[in-house]
Each structure stands twice: as C-alpha cells, then as structure tokens.
Structure 1
Amino acid sequence: MKYSPQQSLLIWYEKNGRHTLPWRLTKDPYPIWISEIMLQQTQVKTVLERFYFPFLERFPSLEALAEAQLDDVLKMWEGLGYYTRARNLHTAARECRGTFPRTAHDMISLPGIGRSTAHAIASFAYNEPLPILDANVKRILHRFFALSKRDEKQLWTYAYQLFDPNHPFEYNQAMMDVGATVCLAKKPLCDVCPFKPACLGKGSPDAYPEKKTTRSKPIRTSVIRIYRRDNRYALMQRSSRFLHGLWGFSETVNLPIGSTDHFLGDITQHYSHFTLAGTVYLSDEPFEDERFEWFSLDEIKELSLSRADHKAMALLRYNLDQKREDGC
C-alpha cells in the first residue's frame, strides 16, 4: 500500500491520541474556545488540573461570561498569566450577544482570536475543513518539509498542502498530539513518528527551524510600597495595557529620603519581556491618591492581583504573623 502521511497520522491518532481531553468530547464552541485560549502559553496538564473546570463552573455559558464583571473573570484567571487573554475573552463574550460565530471567518473578528485559533474552534466545533498553525504544528511542518526559515505565510501554504480536509477534527487534533508527544522541540522521537517515511528533516530535526537569536531579558527594579491605614491597605486597579484590570500596590523607582517605611523583603517576577526585581516596604506614612482604594486583608483575597503583588502580599502576611507571634 502506498504511504499516505494523512492516513498514517489518522491511524496513529486512533491508537495514541489524547481522546479523553474534555474539550475533545464536546461540539459546543464555548468550552472549546475557552480551552484554546487557556492552552496558549500554558501546558495541558496545568490547564486541566487547575483552571479549565473551575472557570467553566464559574462561567458555564457564553451568556454567563458576558454578564460577569471583569474583576470576577480576572480572579478566575489568576495564576494563568498573560491576562490579556482573559480580558479578550470577556470582551468577546459580550460582543457575541449570546451567539458564538459559526465560521472561522466570523470568529477572527472577535478580540483575542487569531487565524489559527479560529480554525481550531471551527474545525472542532463545526468540522470546518481548515488547518491550524500552533507552535506544535509549526514545528512538524518545518521538519516534514525541511524548512529552515521562520516564515508564517509560507507555513500556512504548507499547512494546507499537508492537511486532510476530509477529517479536519481528527487531523488537527492528531497534529497537536504528535507535536506534543513525538515531534518534540528537544530529542524528538522520530522512530515512532507517523510522518517518518516522508519527513525530509528526520535526519537532522534540530536544524528545523533555524534557531532564534536569544537575548537576555532586561531587569527592571521597583520599590513596592504597601500603604496601611487603620488596618486597611491601598491598592489601585491598573488601567495601563500591562496587567490591565489587575489590582496592585503602589510602585515607585526609589524610596523617598527620610522614609520611615518598614522593609519586608525582596521579590523577583519573570515576565515575557523583562524581569521585575522588587523591594517591598510597609508604609504607615500619610497617603492620598484618588486612584487607590483601601481594603482589609480579607477583602484583598477577593481581588485579582498580579503574581508580583501576590508575592508582596505574602511578605506582608509573613511580617504580620511574625509580629503576632512576638506579641507585638
């Protein structure tokens, strides 16, 4: 029998595919959409164990997500990072007005849904014959066709060339699974790959694609001041693009000369484009800024904070606990 990469892939998927993933057991576009957005920048194991089910329990439908407050959505997203994803989910749910689009073409008009994500949702929910191009699929295409150059437009051409339009759901799911479990970024398992007979890059998979030039991330220093007044603490809901919607403590470049602030500790938080090195202080100095609101410790638990602010909060709680133990 003549070798067919598409047929080989489907046979492999039937035997080895991750068929029990919950978003593969439904044709409802809403949970499929949620899973696709969560899986951007996040591993399947993390999404399954900590975020997917609690999020859907809190917002079980498109309408529930649209009616929710952004604060609630961000709180349920806490720990997943890349909070723009959560904000886009919330905005898109409201734009849908109760009905999720039925074609990839219409899905792309929603915030946070790019071409590959739209293709994925449309092929999984509606069996629309469209290929996807996530990180795993890109790696497979680079190796299968021996493509060194990182050129997304070119990759889309090859994605359609290898695609099986007769089985869009199975093909796309299989491609993701092969990329996640076989065609690995490091030490790919070429001997068990369904594409091995026709893969042009199997002899030197590490050569495809060409390596990215790595640059060290800059370090930004910051002084985080936790202002206290009558056992309440000042936080501001961020309005800038970075960490938009999350609550945070006051940040400055330097501690003012003559400050009586109490040193709590240092934190480090890694972001995609820089590393934050923060020094955290507790301040009982007078503080007036209309952008800030005052919260008790219990109320802060209900707010959505960045990871850096969570670390600052942990230092504060540790300091308060130590003082209680010391009888202060």
Structure 2
Amino acid sequence: MEVIQSNNLGEKISTWYTKNGRQNLPWRYDISPYRVWISEIMLQQTQVNTAIAYFERFMAKYPDLQTIKNATEDDIYNMWSGLGYYRRASYIFQAKELIHAKFKGEMPDNYDDLMSLPGVGKSTAGAILSIAFNKPYPILDANVKKVISRIFFKKNFEEKIFWNLSEDLLDKKNIFNFQQGVMDLGSQLCLPKNPKCNLCPVSSNCQSNLKSEFPLLSKKSIKRKKEFLEFQLIQKNQKYFMTKENKLGYWANLWMPPVSEASHQKAEIIHKLSHRELNINFRNSNKKPKNIQGRWFHKKELALIAIPKPIFNRLLIDG
C-alpha cells in the first residue's frame, strides 16, 4: 500500500491514458450513465472489437432510456442477435423496466440502487458511478485484476484485497481517465505473455517487472457438461419454421428450429458455453411438428431476429 501512496501510481496511469489510451472507443465519448451501463453489460462476456459494432447499432436504435422505454424483450433480443450470452439482453430489459417503474426513468446514482438492477454487479456499478457520475468507486474486471496482481507480484489475493487495492490505486482527481487507463493498461500492455513493460507508466514500481517474473492469475478449471441436440430444419419456399418452445434454459426466448435431445453420435457442430459443451446435429424435414407454436421466417429475415449463433451460422450455409 505504501508503494502506491508514495509513487502516485494512479496519477501516472491517468496521464498515460490521456496520451496513449483508446479514447476513440464509442462508449468513451458522449458519456451518459445509460451508455456506460449498456457498454458494461455488453463487455461482460464480449471482446472490445466485437462489442463496438453492436454498441453502435444499439445506440442508433435506443440512444437513451426514453427511447428504450417501450422496447419489448423481443426487440432487445433482436438487437443482441449474434452477440451471444443472451441473458444479458434479458437483464437489460428487466433493468430498464425497473428504472422506469422505480427510479422515474433516470439511472440511479448510488451504489445500492444500482446493485438492485438485474445484471449489475459490483464492478458494473463501480464503472457507472465512477465513469458517468465521477464518484470514487473502484472497478475490478479481469484487466484491472491483472494489473494489480502484477504490481504486487501476487496471483492469489483474496477478492476483498483486490477490491481494496483497486480503490487505493484510484486517482480521485482524474477518475474517468484513471478507470479507462487501468483497463487499457491491462488489455494493451500488461499482456499474459511478453508484457510491454518498456511502455508501461508504472513499470518502475511494478514488482513483477522488477523481478522479471510475471505471475498469471489462477484460473478455475471448468468441467463442461456434454449435451447432444438435434435440430429439425423445416424449410419451404426459402422460409424456415422457427419456434421459441424449448427446454434449453440457456437459450430461452430465442428463435430456433424445433429441437430434441439426441443420441451420443458424432456432432456436426460442437459449441461451448460457459459450463456446457453442445454436440449439435441437424435433420432436414418438410413437415412442421404438431402442437408446436412458431413462425415462418424468410431466410433474409434471419439476421433480424435473435437466434443462437451456431444455429444462425448453420442456416446461412443451408440457405
């Protein structure tokens, strides 16, 4: 802690950002609590380069809380099409409903109220408060964690200590520049392998650099459950029959062909989710199953609705 206070690491990071940071990212200008919120939800499971186009498209359709007020859950899912982790879209729908019902259509500016919003955790709340409201709250995404672990040459801090150090590092005179800077530092310079220490503004204070040894944060090993699925491709006159009726909790509210569990056979597509490995096969059919509600979509409409990415990619090939 003493190293941080005596060497003004936070100020160094803020200054570095003003000269070298990615200030052209679309969520880093025209700052509003709403824009910060949407960008943070998108970036929870998505890389920056992928998120840019989706963020710009989302903002073109729903630039603020007023324009998104009457959006249905389907509307938001459709805007999310192809981005994956669709539960985030559901969280946005639930949160905007709560914001209009409980907070008079304004993004809350205090921690407890933000934490009451679906999909908002400590780091997202900290990002909204610090970046949009200029309040001294810490954030702790993967990049910030990496920077902290490198500076202090630790990989197995307790979570509480990471949060305390993130708060202590914070340059309270330049909150916006610091928060963006420390995230850029983690993603652009403090790389897992071959970090660019010669370009880092805090390299002279970094214990990992001084020791020429760079600990990696321990990652929990993930054991994915295997599932075997068969989708029934029902096509007629360049249209596909699609339904939302399925028992797949991870793809709830998404359009897809009728699906059923399948035998353990070689898969045409293997798609990995956070805790599942989906082994997917397809079967062509001309008949719509009985007792299943759905709609026919022309193949040109598929890009406009929310479909699981591996299914969408397969339909493009088939079409």
Q: Bin the TM-score by the shorter chain.
A: 0.7 to 0.9
Amino acid at match of 1:70: E
Amino acid at match of 1:278: I
Pick the aligned partner of 2:27 from 20, 23, 27: 23
User: 1:305 aligns to what?
Assistant: 307
Distance 1:52 1:68 in 2: 16
Deviating more after overlay: 237-246 vs 112-121 = 237-246
Relative contact order, CA 8 A, sep 6+: which one is greater?
2
**Unaligned residue ranges in structure 1 (runs of 5+):** 256-264, 318-328
8 A Cα contact 1:267 1:278, kept in partner: yes
Distance 2:39 2:168 in 1: 27
Flag the 1:27–1:252 CA change in 2: closer, same or farther, 3 A.
closer
8 A Cα contact 2:231 2:260, kept in partner: yes
8 A Cα contact 2:243 2:255, kept in partner: yes
8 A Cα contact 2:80 2:89, kept in partner: yes
Pick the aligned partner of 1:124 from 103, 125, 131: 131
Residue 28 of structure 1: CA displacement?
Answer: 1.5
User: 1:261 aligns to what?
Assistant: none
8 A Cα contact 1:63 1:93, kept in partner: no
User: 1:72 aligns to what?
Assistant: 75
**Partner deviation per Cα, 1:248-291 (whole Å, 9 max, x = no partner):** 11222338xxxxxxxxx92332322233221111123462124x
Matches within 5 A, 1:94-113: 94-97=97-100, 98-113=105-120
**Partner deviation per Cα, 1:280-310 (whole Å, 9 max, x = no partner):** 11123462124x3131425555431111321
Normalized against structure 2, the TM-score is what? 0.86
Distance 2:145 2:294 in 1: 46
Pick the aligned partner of 1:159 from 157, 166, 170: 166
User: 2:3 aligns to what?
Assistant: none
Distance 1:172 1:266 in 2: 43
Pick the aligned partner of 1:37 from 41, 48, 66: 41
Amino acid at match of 1:31: R
Flag the 1:114–1:306 CA change in 2: closer, same or farther, 3 A.
same
Amino acid at match of 2:308: S
User: 2:51 aligns to what?
Assistant: 47
Distance 2:40 2:69 in 1: 18
SS in 2 for 1:187: coil
Amino acid at match of 2:249: R
8 A Cα contact 2:222 2:275, kept in partner: no
Matches within 5 A, 1:226-265: 226-227=233-234, 233-238=240-245, 241-254=249-262
Normalized against structure 1, the TM-score is what? 0.84
User: 2:155 aligns to what?
Assistant: 148
Residue 213 of structure 1: CA displacement?
Answer: 4.8
Misfit runs of 4+, over 3 Å: 213-219, 227-234, 238-241, 298-302
Residue 20 of structure 1: CA displacement?
Answer: 2.5
Residue 216 of structure 1: CA displacement?
Answer: 5.9
Amino acid at match of 2:255: W
Q: Does 1:294 align with 2:295?
A: yes
- Count of residue pairs the alignment pairs up: 304
**Partner deviation per Cα, 1:1-35 (whole Å, 9 max, x = no partner):** x7421222222122111222232222311112111
User: 1:185 aligns to what?
Assistant: 192
8 A Cα contact 2:81 2:303, kept in partner: no
8 A Cα contact 2:65 2:96, kept in partner: yes
Flag the 1:190–1:154 CA change in 2: closer, same or farther, 3 A.
same
SS in 1 for 2:140: coil
Q: Give the number of the structure whose alpha-carbon radius of gyration is greater.
A: 1
- The CA RMSD measured in Å over matched residues stands at 2.4
